[in-house]
Amino acid sequence: MDAKLIVFDFDGTLGDTRANIVLTMRETIRTLGLPERSEAEIAATIGVPLEEGFAQMYPGITEEEMLQGAKCYREVFEKSRKVLVPELFPHVKETLSELMERGLVLTVASSRRSASLNGFLRDMGIAPFISYVLGAYTYFFEYASLAEIEELYADVHVGKTEDGKVELVFQHPEQAERFGYLGLKCSEVYVSDEDRYAMQALSEIVGMAIRQHVLSEKDLYGTEERVTEVLSSSPQTQAQWKWFCCLNRIERAAEPGEHGRWRCIKAKKRCIDPWIENAGRLSRISARFSDALTAFQNASQEDWLRGYSEGRGDQCGSKKLNGPKR
């Protein structure tokens, strides 16, 4: 097998969630006082974002009503989640174990929210096999409108590169170039000074919490709310968590200063050079994109960074919360 990474959907692929979704939606509909819908009508919304599901079942409802419906569904879902844990389809756990033993990276992507996904993966006993979970609203940058994204999506299909590898390819150069620049914008966010420093600081605080038995690795497969609650309330991590939450400025320097948490942080640069059908890589066709891609790849990460708070009051700006120099 040439694949190195597999992306699974969750609902209807790993977990048999149909009965859970139908029961939760029926209770939501009763709570909101909406006209009843059949099991088939409810099941037809599986796999789409909640707001779109309500619009599909009740054409003509307002955006506010869609948001209210989604909010109510999540409240009903949270109350029943421990009782209505979906079942794995037959042989899923054994298959995931075998794939992981073969060295493949296993991930899950879904329109379901990340907290819900992580909770189910943990409760169903398959979280240890999954390296990454991408749920609805995990990331949202308004770099493109929904119409633009749909246009780009429509231009993509499964094809092959010149060496025969299967890949998602674009049919038109102009769409590939638009996607390429959007991808670079996202890539720049994830290796920006702010993001690298925040992720490094967070990893140090979580690492300290695990070493001091404030958190366990199992806790990290739970909900974000639970982890942040522990970090913010535990005497061992409370001050460090408060310092982290107050960060709103980054200082860059060629050498570390005497005060504050200075870090030199190297991050992997992930980027996409789209393949265009019957034409090849975008960087070979567009000199402008090639220059932008090269500039991103060559951008230095040798400088030292210090995070601090500014204008947040004494509680956030105190020297005590600056943290020690490494």
Full DSSP string of 207-236:
HHHHHTTSS-GGGGGS-HHHHHHHHHH-TT
Task: Flag whether pLDDT at 64 surpasses 70.
Answer: yes
Q: Kindly compute the dihedral angle of the four CA atoms of residues 276, 281, 284, 288, in this order, to the nearest 10 degrees.
A: 80
Q: Are 305 and 325 in contact (CB under 8 A)?
A: no
Q: Annotated catalytic, 9?
A: yes
11 given a catalytic annotation:
yes
Q: Which amino acid is at 307?
A: G
Nearest-CA neighbor of 275 among 182, 170, 199, 203? 170
Average pLDDT value over all residues in the chain: 87
Q: Active site residue: 9, 123, 195, 219, which one?
A: 9
Is pTM beyond 0.75? Reply is no
Catalytic residue among 2, 11, 16, 291: 11
Domains located in the chain, CATH noted: 1-11+93-138 (3.40.50.1000), 18-80 (1.10.150), 193-267+302-322 (no CATH)
**pLDDT tens-digit readout, 155-181:** 999 998 888 888 999 999 999 999 999
Q: Residue 168 forms beta bridges with which residues?
A: 158
Categorize the per-residue pLDDT at 201 as very low, low, confident or very high, splitting at 50, 70 and 90.
very high
Instruction: Please state, in angstroms and rounded to a whole number, the distance separating the CA atoms of residues 187 and 185.
Output: 5
Neighbours of 130 (CB within 10 A): 21
Matching residue, tokens 């500014």: 310
Position 254 scores a pLDDT of: 92
C-alpha–C-alpha distance, residues 106 and 96, integer Å: 8
To the nearest 10°, the Cα dihedral for 69, 138, 219, 307? Answer: -130
Q: Is the pLDDT of residue 311 over 70?
A: no
**Per-residue pLDDT averaged across 115-140, rounded?**
78
The whole-number pLDDT of residue 186 equals 87
**pLDDT of 205 higher than 80:** yes
- In this prediction, residue 137 has a pLDDT band, given cuts at 50, 70 and 90, of low
276-295 mean pLDDT: 95
